[in-house]
Chain A
Amino acid sequence: MKTEFMRVEKIIIEFIRTTVEKAGAKGGIIGLSGGIDSAVVAALACKALGSSNVHGYFIPSSVTPSEDEDHVKELTTKLGMSFEIIPLDDLLEQYKTLLNPETTSNNMAWANLMPRVRQALLYFKASELNSLVLGTSNKSELMIGYFTKFGDSAADLAPIGDLYKQEVNDLAKHLEIPASIITKAPSAGLWPGQTDEEELGFSYKELDEILEALESFQTVDQVHEKTGIAKETISRVVKLIRLNEHKRRPPLTLKLGYRSPGHDWRVPFFT
Chain B
Amino acid sequence: MVLLRVALGQMSSLPANPDANLKIIEGMCERAQEDNVDLIIFPELSVTGYLMHDEVFNLAEKIPEGNLTQKLRKIANRTNVSILAGLPEKERPGVLYNSAVFVQPNSETYTTRKILLPNHSVFNEKRYFKPAEEIKTTPSPWGGLGVQICYDLFSPEISRFHALNGSPLLICLSASPGVRQQLFESFIKARAAENASFLIYVNQAGVQDDLIFWGGSEVCDPSGKQLLKLKYDEPDYGVVEIDLSQVDRTRTFIPTIRDAPGWIYTDLKEAQARR
Name the CB-closest residue of B to A250.
B210
In the complex, A259→B121 CA distance in Å? Answer: 7
B179 touches A255 (CB 8 A): yes
A255 touches B57 (CB 8 A): no
A255 touches B211 (CB 8 A): yes
| Residues of B within 8 A of A (CB-CB), count | 14
- Best-buried of B16, B179, B207 by chain A (most CB within 10 Å): B179
Residues on B with beta carbons closer than 8 Å to the beta carbon of A257? 179
- A270 contacts B by Cβ under 8 Å: no
| Residues of A within 8 A of B (CB-CB), count | 15
Residues on A with beta carbons closer than 8 Å to the beta carbon of B207? 254
Q: Known contacts A263-B121, A263-B122, A264-B122; decide if A254 and B58 are in contact (CB<8 Å).
A: no
Q: Please report A residues at the B interface, Cβ cutoff 8 Å.
A: 217, 219, 242, 252-260, 262-264
Residues on B with beta carbons closer than 8 Å to the beta carbon of A242? 16
Residues on A with beta carbons closer than 8 Å to the beta carbon of B178? 255-256
Q: Select which of B16, B179, B211 is within 8 A of A258 by beta carbon.
A: B179
Q: Please report B residues at the A interface, Cβ cutoff 8 Å.
A: 16, 57-58, 120-122, 177-179, 207, 209-212
**16 other A-B residue contacts (CB within 8 Å) besides A217-B57, A252-B209, A263-B210:** A219-B58, A242-B16, A253-B210, A254-B212, A255-B122, A255-B178, A255-B211, A256-B178, A256-B179, A257-B179, A258-B179, A259-B121, A260-B122, A262-B210, A264-B120, A264-B121
- Please list 15 pairs of residues, one from A and one from B, whose beta carbons are closer than 8 Å in the complex, sorted by A's number: A219-B58, A252-B210, A254-B207, A254-B210, A255-B177, A255-B211, A255-B212, A256-B178, A256-B179, A257-B179, A258-B179, A259-B121, A260-B122, A263-B122, A264-B121
B212 touches A256 (CB 8 A): yes
In the complex, A217→B60 CA distance in Å? Answer: 13
In the complex, A242→B207 CA distance in Å? Answer: 19
In the complex, A263→B124 CA distance in Å? Answer: 11
Q: Smallest CB–CB gap between B121 and chain A, Å?
A: 5
In the complex, A255→B207 CA distance in Å? Answer: 10
In the complex, A254→B120 CA distance in Å? Answer: 17
Residues on B with beta carbons closer than 8 Å to the beta carbon of A263? 121-122, 210
Name the CB-closest residue of A to B177.
A255
Name the CB-closest residue of A to B210.
A252
Name the CB-closest residue of A to B120.
A264
In the complex, A41→B16 CA distance in Å? Answer: 36
A255 touches B58 (CB 8 A): no
Q: Smallest CB–CB gap between B186 and chain A, Å?
A: 17
- Best-buried of B16, B57, B120, B211 by chain A (most CB within 10 Å): B211
